[in-house]
Amino acid sequence: MRTYNQLTDPDRSGLLQQIITQRGRVAERLAGVRRIVAVMSGKGGVGKSYVTAHLARALARGGRQVGVLDADLNGPTMPRLLGIDHSPLPTPESGIEPATGADGVKCISMDLLLGDGQPLAFKGPVAESFVWRGAMEASALREFLGDVAWGDLDVLLLDLPPGMQRYIELCDILAAPPAVLTVTIPTLESRDAVRRAMRAALERGSELLGIVENMVGGGRQFTGTAADDLAKEFAVPVLARIPWHPTPDTWAALGAQL
Amino acid sequence: MKFLCVECDRQMTFGDRQLPGDGTLAATFKCPSCGRVVALLTNPMETQLVSSLGVEIGGRTVPAQPLETVRKMVSTGRDDAFVEGSREPGTGSTMTWSTGALERLDRVPNFVRGMVKRIYADYAKERGIAEITPAVMDTARSELGLEGM
């Protein structure tokens, strides 16, 4: 009996071709984006979204065209951080128009699409939903990249949730792994978690731009040498140490390094 | 996904696809040599897995719509998440809809309505149909395999 690759007639479903077409759509959409930067950390609660939003605003104030894709599909916060309300998103044939936030930063977020206080839930069989839910979220991420009319951007920041899953999905969807900006807090617990994420990013081929150490100083709630340890280990710079009460200059200095 | 008629050693050709609405999917394949027809029947879990990839068994009948998977599959979307057209004035659709067609469209959830409307509008435009009626919608559903729309 012949096997799949021995059957030469075209496959009417063309599932593989459909996937390739999807990827092509993403690449075409992002052709006008000069740089894609994933803001990530292996650790939750270190302020990735906070850093992303303020970095985006600082870059925009510096005259750059900036977009933010809120890749935290289950805990989206970017619209609030960028001062975006829930006005309906226009849907011209060219793609979904992103929302525009403070300082002209373009943004797409699941928060803009979900009912108030509603979790991200999908239609489909409830039992064993873990089998398909990851694929569904990856599709949503792909559509955020490929179906939103980003236009020409100097930088598209991707605000990732904790952990590595979303980063890996991005690497599969994008034509090339995104550059990575790592956020940590000073503690050794954070260092250990972030180290794994940086290692994974390096192994996937991402450029490690550097480290932002957040929640530094103040009442010394968080102490440690996470940023310095990671910078030494991965031979990357500590781009900024963000105090508890940063000023616009703090963010401008960070933006100037990207 | 391919089907082989082992007896004839011929690749079977895709015939028909049905989504009966219970989460299952049926697709038929026919042997071009002996005419034997077999049906691929997927359970809801298998159907969901294919849907979650944003692909369609049997191939696409209409081009992928923006945020198609999100709009079709998210069950907690806000009613006013999307608005037709662009922020630029004068870019909305000019297609005419009969009262009956609009009533039917009103029964589609807001979250996905704009996308469904565009699919029907594109269908009518491509065929030179001036007004979309329930009959046109029925024909489009049948021709394009728009089960559930």
Q: Which of B42, B59, B76 is the last residue before a domain boundary?
A: B59
- Which pLDDT tens digit goes with each residue over A24-46? 999 999 999 999 999 999 899 99
Task: Answer yes or no: do B41 and B66 share one domain.
Answer: no
Conformation bin of residue B135: beta by default, left when phi > 0, alpha when psi is -120 to 50 = alpha
Residues 39-68 of B with CB under 8 A from A: 44-45, 48-60, 64, 66-68
> Closest Cα of chain B to A59: distance in Å?
25
Task: Answer yes or no: do B147 and B92 share one domain.
Answer: yes
Write out chain B residues lying below 8 Å of A142, CB-based. 54
Contact A120 B13 (CB under 8 A): no
Task: Answer yes or no: do B96 and B24 share one domain.
Answer: no
Q: Which of B59, B74, B92 is the last residue before a domain boundary?
A: B59
What letter does residue A42 receive in the DSSP assignment?
A: S
Task: Answer yes or no: do B79 and B50 share one domain.
Answer: no
Please give the single-letter amino acid code of residue A96. Answer: I
- What is the domain-level CATH number for residue B1? 2.20.25
More confident position, A256 or B23: A256
pLDDT class of B19 with cuts at 50, 70, 90:
confident
**What's the mean pLDDT in A153-157?**
98
Task: Answer yes or no: do B27 and B72 share one domain.
Answer: no
CA distances from B31 to A6, B7, B10, B15, B76 (A): 17, 10, 7, 10, 43
Q: Does the interface ipTM go beyond 0.85?
A: yes
Question: In sequence order, what E strands does chain B have?
Answer: 4-5, 10-11, 13-18, 25-30, 37-42, 82-84, 96-97, 131-132
Interface test mutation site (partner B, options A69, A91, A106, max chain B beta carbons within 10 A): A91
Task: Answer yes or no: do B52 and B1 share one domain.
Answer: yes
- Which pLDDT tens digit goes with each residue over A168-224? 999 999 999 999 999 999 999 999 999 999 999 999 999 999 999 999 987 767 889
pLDDT at residue B59, as a whole number: 79
Q: For B97, phi and psi rounded to 5 degrees?
A: -120, 135
- CB-nearest to B70 from A21, A113, A119 is A113
Task: Answer yes or no: do B34 and B3 share one domain.
Answer: yes
pLDDT class of A52 with cuts at 50, 70, 90:
very high
**What's the mean pLDDT in A96-115?**
97
- What is the domain-level CATH number for residue B119? 1.10.8.550
Q: What residues make up the domain containing B11?
A: 1-59
Q: Which chain B residue shows the shortest CA-CA distance from A92?
A: B85
Element (H, E) at A184: strand A179-184
Please report the number of interchain residue pairs, chain A to chain B, with beta-carbon separation below 8 angstroms: 156
Per the prediction, chain B carries an average pLDDT of 86
Report the SS3 class of residue B74: strand
**Residue with structure tokens 């009969």?**
B98
Q: Which of B14, B43, B59 is the last residue before a domain boundary?
A: B59
Determine the length of chain B. Answer: 149
Contact B78 A7 (CB under 8 A): no
pLDDT for A10 beyond 80: no
Task: Answer yes or no: do B83 and B41 share one domain.
Answer: no
For each of the domains in chain A, give its residue range(s) and CATH number, in order of start. 18-255 (3.40.50.300)
Q: Provide the Cα torsion A74, A168, A17, B77; round to 10°.
A: 10
Task: Answer yes or no: do B78 and B68 share one domain.
Answer: yes
Find out whether A103 and B98 touch, Cβ atoms under 8 Å: no
Helix B44-52 to helix A130-146 angle, to the nearest 10 degrees?
20
Sorted by sequence, the CB contacts under 8 Å of residue B56 that are 6+ apart come out as A13, A18, B50
pLDDT at residue A140, as a whole number: 96
Task: Answer yes or no: do B93 and B126 share one domain.
Answer: yes
pLDDT at residue A220, as a whole number: 67
- CB-nearest to B81 from A1, A112, A131 is A112
Whole-angstrom Cα distance, residue A23 to residue A141? Answer: 12
Task: Answer yes or no: do B22 and B93 share one domain.
Answer: no
Which of these, B111, B79, B66, lies nearest to A25 by C-alpha position?
B66
Task: Answer yes or no: do B69 and B53 share one domain.
Answer: no
pLDDT at residue A158, as a whole number: 98
For chain B, what is the domain count? 2
Instruction: Using the CB atoms, write b or e for B52-70: b if 16+ within 10 Å.
Output: bbbbbbbbeebebbbbbbb
Write out chain A residues lying below 8 Å of B1, CB-based. 11, 13, 15
Find out whether B96 and A121 touch, Cβ atoms under 8 Å: no
